[in-house]
A = this chain, B = another copy of it.
């Protein structure tokens, strides 16, 4: 009831916005973007439908913001200095472990990400968002290997990149349990650096 300062308003706005994003991501991931309705999001978030349009111009914008938030979270995760220590082998192992761990903890985001990627061919916007992401990951991988003197860096990067995303796909959609730890170690120790 007390009059609110602009800052407080700002803060409330931020909170609501983020809450809507979190709810949206969950629903998008769970049921798919198309199958999730604005009403459903509003109800789940405990606000009126109209409120959503104060924060986001359209359902599509909302999706973009959800993706942006997800990517930010993920990037933070990988901005860990710890990841950059050790030799190529160790860095790679940590990278894969971190990736797979994130698949378990952020399964929602990753499965949204996967389902969106498979619809990229029909949408320029999605292409703009995801293609650079995947490509820069390849570059990062290639660099990591190259700068550690690993031969055939590009080929290996392609293989590893494929393997990581394929394993992710299998984990998310086919197998409930996946021996991440063993597969990681197997790939690193037996296939990449035998």
Contact = CB atoms under 8 A, between A and B. Distances in A.
Contact of A161 (B30, B170, B173, B186): B170
A190 to B, nearest CB: 7
Contacts of A163: 159, 162-163, 166
Contacts of A186: 152, 155-156, 159
Interface residues of A, number: 46
Most buried by B among A31, A118, A122, A183: A118
Contacts of A170: 134, 158, 161-162, 165
Interface string A147-172: 00000100110110111111111101
A134 B32 contact: no
